[in-house]
Amino acid sequence: MLRIDDLRVNYGGIEAVKGISFEVPEREIVTLIGANGAGKSTTLRAIAGLVKPALGRIHLQAEDITGLSPDRIVSKGITLVPEGRHVFPDLTVLENLKIGAYLRTDNLEDDIKWVYDLFPRLKERSWQAAGTLSGGEQQMLAVGRALMSRPKIMMMDEPSLGLAPLVVKGIFEIIKEINRQGVTILLIEQNANMALHIADTAYVLETGRLTMRGTGKELLNNEAVKKAYLG
Ligand SMILES: Nc1ncnc2c1ncn2[C@@H]1O[C@H](COP(=O)(O)OP(=O)(O)O)[C@@H](O)[C@H]1O
Ligand SMILES: [Mg+2]
C-alpha cells in the first residue's frame, strides 16, 4: 500500500535518514524501532510531507506522493499522530475531534460516534477542555483526532512516550482494534517490546539506516535485538 524507496532526509548538513526502503502492506501493522535520534520521527515527517526528502520516492499504491503538501497527503488517506500528542488544550474534546476532520465537508456524526465507541472515556469528557485530560486520555484524543480524517494509513510517533505501563497497554489494545477495523498502521517506538508484540512486520532503524527486518515475533526472539532494545 505504502512504499518508500531510498528515502534520504537532511537537516542542513546532518543526514538524519540515509537511504531507507521499506513497505507497509495494506491492513498490516508495521513498526520501525530504534534508539533516540535514529531517524524514526524524520521518516514519518517525510511521509507526512512535513519535511522534504533530499532523495527517494514515496508511493501510495500506484501514486507518487513525494513532495505533496501535508494537507494533500492527509486527503490521500495518510494521517500522523505526532509525538507529544499536541492536542489543543483550551478546546474541548469534541472541538479537537472536529479539527481532525478539517479537510472534509461531509457529515461527521458517524465518525464521532466511531471514535466515541473506540474511546468511551472521550465520550464522557466530550465537553471537557483537552488540556485537563490525563496523558493517556490526551493520547486517545490525538488518535481519535487522526481517525476523524478517515485515514487508510495511520502513522504513530511514539504513542507510549511518558505514559504508565498500564495506560500504554490500553493504547496498544486500541491500536490493534483500529487495525482490525481495516486501518493500516505504521508505528514507530522506542518501546520496542510493546511495538514488536503487535507488529506484523518490523524493522530496526540505526542512525538513519534500516539494519534488520522480520516479523514482530522474529525480532522479539532475535539476540541482537534483545540485547540492544529489549534490555
Ligand atoms: N529539525 C531538526 N533540525 C536539525 N536536526 C534535526 C531536526 N530534527 C531531527 N534532527 C536530527 O536528526 C536525527 C534524527 O532525529 P529523529 O528523526 O527525531 O530521531 P528519532 O525520532 O528516531 O529519535 C537526530 O540526529 C536529530 O538530532
Ligand atoms: Mg522521534
pLDDT level of residue 206 (50, 70, 90 thresholds)? very high
Mutate to test the pocket of ligand 1, among 7, 8, 10, 11 (most ligand atoms within 8 A of CB): 11
Q: What is the mean pLDDT of residues 221-226?
A: 95
Whether the predicted pLDDT of 156 surpasses 80: yes
Note the pTM of the prediction, 2 decimals. 0.96
The terminus-to-terminus CA distance of the chain in angstroms comes to 33
* Closest residue by Cα to residue 48 from 22, 25, 21, 68: 68
Task: Return the pLDDT at 200.
Answer: 98
Residue 190's pLDDT is: 86
pLDDT tens-place string over residues 84-142: 889 999 999 999 999 988 777 788 899 999 999 999 999 999 999 999 999 999 999 99
**Single-letter residue type at 138:** Q
pLDDT value of position 105 = 76
pLDDT for position 179: 98
* CA 77 to ligand 1 centroid distance, Å: 25
Residue 14 in contact with ligand 1 by CB distance below 6 A? yes
Worst-scoring range by mean pLDDT, 6-15, 40-49, 103-112, 145-154?
103-112
Residue 103 CA: distances (Å) to CA of 65, 163, 180, 226:
18, 30, 25, 42
pLDDT beyond 80 at 210: yes
